[in-house]
Amino acid sequence: MEPQKSLLEFIPINRKEKYYTGTVLPMIVCRDNIRNISRIFKLAGIDVEGSFEELDDKDVIFYTEYSLKDSCVGCFDQSFLNTLEGIDKFSIPDILIGARFKDRFYILAVEAKMFQKTSFVELSRQLKKQLDTAISPVVQCLKMYYGSSAEVIVEQCALLPEQMIDFNKIYGQTHMFKVISWEDILTTFSDNNGCYFYRILQRALEEYDDKISKKSLDI
């Protein structure tokens, strides 16, 4: 009997960015009860002491499409809420990961692209707005609770397919922000290669040339 083909042969793989940031990445990074979550911090260039393996869910947040403005109803006084008015859907990072470890707080904000062709110039504008309007208030929340001397380490990064990174370089695009690739995720979490969502990411990157948007790059 001939083996059955994958359902992906009949139902094309999802091209929506939110699927990869809201489902695929968390299922890879947070596998085994978040014990390996420090890997993505290190991948983004944050100097983490230790591996976070002893952390549990009260020490970690992993949010996708997180807006403090939408989430803090009933939590703060009106004067603080007024500072959040600049937050809109364009200033919300795709992923916000926080960890409390050895009296330090680590915040990693990730803006990811998969099949939407994007220039470093566009990303730079987007990351700047996210830092000013969406990430800084999160840091302020921590300092309101733990005191102004609390040590909060913040990093932003763009998460892109390697081919998109190479495409920007061909056009002479430079960047001042940290860039990691989806391929880096596969390498860093290679012990998850038996995971369904790990294989989905592999498949998406294999089909990148066919699935990438055809619009010209705005540089």
Tell me which amino acid residue 66 is: Y
The position carrying tokens 């809201």 is: 22
pLDDT in tens, 36-69: 888 999 999 887 766 676 777 788 999 998 877 7
Q: Is 50 exceeded by the pLDDT of residue 219?
A: no
Q: Is 90 exceeded by the pLDDT of residue 217?
A: no
pLDDT in tens, 74-93: 666 556 666 666 666 667 89
pLDDT in tens, 89-124: 667 899 999 988 888 899 999 999 999 888 888 888
The position carrying tokens 């000013």 is: 132
Complete DSSP assignment for the chain: -PPPPPGGGTSPPP--HHHIIIIIHHHHHTTTTTTTTHHHHHHTT---SS--TT--TTSEEEEES--HHHH-TTTS-HHHHHTTTT--GGGS-SEEEEEEETTEEEEEEEEE-SSS---HHHHHHHHHHHIIIIIHHHHHHHHHHH-TT-EEEEEEEEEE-HHHHHHHHHTT---SSEEEEHHHHHHHTGGGTTSHHHHHHHHHHHTHHHHS--SPP--
pLDDT in tens, 167-188: 777 656 666 789 999 999 999 9
Q: What is the pLDDT of residue 190?
A: 94
**What pTM was estimated for this model as a whole?**
0.86
Number of neighbouring beta carbons within 10 Å of residue 191: 11
